[in-house]
Chain A
Amino acid sequence: MAEPMQRNKQWHMLTVVGADRPGIVSKLAEALFRGGCNLGEASMARLGGNFSVMLMVDGADTATLEKLVQPVTDALGLHLHLDPILGELHRHVEPNVQVTVYGADRPGIVAQATNALAAAGFNILDLNTDVAGTTERPIYIMLIDGYAAGGVDVVERAIAPLRSGGIEVRVTALDAMIG
C-alpha cells in the first residue's frame, strides 16, 4: 500500500453512505486504483441496513477524486462526501481500557456513558453500538475501547453511577500480549 513513513501529509477522507448491496467496496476500490490513488486506513460498517465507509485516500486532488468516484456512487445511488485532511499512518494509540455497556434501550444511554468517560479523561478510540433483542423489547449494546491515563480504576469510578439507572456496565483492562 503506502511507502513506510508518511507524516502529516495531505490525504482525503472519503465518506460514502447509502442503501447496502453487494459489491460497493470493490467498485469504489477499483475506481480509485484505476485513478492512481492509494488507500490508507478505512472503516466500513453496515448500520441499520445501510452501507457506510470512511476511507483515507491519497494521490489525487478533491476535484479529481470526485471525477473518479462520483460515477460509481451515482450508479449505485449512494451519497459521496470528500474532505481534505492531514493524515498520519503508523500512529496507532493502544487502548488500555474496554467498557461494555448494555441495557433495555432508552434515550440517553450513550450520552450518559460517554459524558462520564470524558470527565474521567477517557479517550475513545473505537466505539461500536448495536440495538439487539426484539422490536418489542430492544436492548442497547455498546462496546468501547479507549485510553485512560489513570487506567481501569479511574474509569470504573467514573462510570459506576450509571449502574443505579439499570444499565449494566463492565470495565476491563486491555493488555495486549506482545510476543
Chain B
Amino acid sequence: MAVLEVLQYPDPRLKQVSVPVTVFDGALHAFLNDLEDTMRAGPGSVGIAAPQVDCFLRIAIVDVSSKPGIPQHGCLRLINPEIVQRSGEVKGREGCMSVPDYTGSVIRAQSVRVRAQDSDGQRFEFDCEGYEARAVQHELDHLDGLLFLDRVVSPRHDLYRRKVKAVLSD
C-alpha cells in the first residue's frame, strides 16, 4: 500500500492537461493500486485523478459505493475516459482533496455516458447518473486541468430561475 502525496491548489501543476495512456503494463497496474490507496486515505473521498498525485496521464478512479442507496457501478478504474453523451442539469455540492476547507455548488449533467479503457486496454462504455455522474465529471475535469473552482456557482444561484429565463428567451 502506498499513499501518494496529493497536490494542493495553488500548485500550478493542477492546471496542466494530461496526456492519454498508451502503455498498459504492470507499472500502470501498480500505479492504479497506489492511486486507489491514496483516494481511500483521503477522508470521505469518492474519486481521484492521476494529476492530483503529480502524474499527468488520463487516469481516474471513482468509487461511490460507500454512499447508501444510490445507483452506482462500484469501483471504476477509468483509463483515457471521455464523456460521449450528457443529459440534464443538476446543482450539487462539491469539495476536492486538492482544495482543502472549501465546498461549493457546481452544476453538472444529471447523467453521462462514459467511454473508457480498463487497466488492460479493453474498451468499455457505461451510463451513470446523479452522485456517481457528478464524481465522474469532477475527476475527468482534473484531466483537462480544471478544478471545481472553475465551475463553482453562487449559493444564491437559482437553477430553476435560470432555466425559466432560458425557456422564455427561446
Q: Which residues of A contact B (CB under 8 A)?
A: 90-92, 94, 126, 128, 145, 174-179
A116 vs B71: C-alpha distance in the bound complex, in angstroms? 33
Q: Is B44 at the interface (CB under 8 A from chain A)?
A: yes
Cβ of A167 to closest chain B Cβ, rounded Å: 19
Which of B139, B155, B156 is close to A179, meaning CB atoms less than 8 Å apart?
Answer: B139
| Structural contact, A175 and B67, CB atoms closer than 8 A | yes
A140 vs B95: C-alpha distance in the bound complex, in angstroms? 31
A178 vs B66: C-alpha distance in the bound complex, in angstroms? 12
A85 vs B43: C-alpha distance in the bound complex, in angstroms? 32
| Structural contact, B101 and A178, CB atoms closer than 8 A | no
Contacts of B94 in A (CB 8 A): 176-179
Cβ of A133 to closest chain B Cβ, rounded Å: 13
A179 vs B48: C-alpha distance in the bound complex, in angstroms? 6
Chain B CB within 10 A, most for which of A90, A176, A179: A179
| Structural contact, B46 and A176, CB atoms closer than 8 A | no
Cβ of A120 to closest chain B Cβ, rounded Å: 21
Q: Number of B residues contacting the other chain (C-beta, 8 Å)?
A: 29
Contacts of A126 in B (CB 8 A): 155
A177 vs B108: C-alpha distance in the bound complex, in angstroms? 12
Q: Is B135 at the interface (CB under 8 A from chain A)?
A: yes
Cβ of B64 to closest chain A Cβ, rounded Å: 8
Q: Which chain B residue shows the least CB distance to A98? A: B93
Contact (A179, B93) CB under 8 Å given A92-B101, A94-B103 = no
A12 vs B144: C-alpha distance in the bound complex, in angstroms? 40
Q: Mark B128-149, 1 if CB is under 8 A from A, else 0.
A: 0001001100110010000010
| Structural contact, B96 and A178, CB atoms closer than 8 A | yes
Contacts of B45 in A (CB 8 A): 178-179
Contacts of A145 in B (CB 8 A): 155
Cβ of B41 to closest chain A Cβ, rounded Å: 12
A96 vs B112: C-alpha distance in the bound complex, in angstroms? 26
Cβ of A113 to closest chain B Cβ, rounded Å: 18
| Structural contact, B135 and A177, CB atoms closer than 8 A | yes
A90 vs B102: C-alpha distance in the bound complex, in angstroms? 9
Q: Is B81 at the interface (CB under 8 A from chain A)?
A: no
Contacts of B88 in A (CB 8 A): none
Q: Is B92 at the interface (CB under 8 A from chain A)?
A: yes
Q: What 19 new A-B contacts, CB under 8 Å, besides A92-B101, A178-B44, A179-B142?
A: A90-B100, A92-B102, A128-B155, A145-B155, A175-B93, A175-B131, A176-B93, A176-B103, A177-B47, A177-B95, A177-B131, A178-B42, A178-B43, A179-B45, A179-B47, A179-B48, A179-B96, A179-B135, A179-B138
A128 vs B105: C-alpha distance in the bound complex, in angstroms? 15
| Structural contact, A179 and B101, CB atoms closer than 8 A | no
Contacts of B101 in A (CB 8 A): 90-92
Contacts of B44 in A (CB 8 A): 178
Q: Which chain B residue shows the least CB distance to A89? A: B101
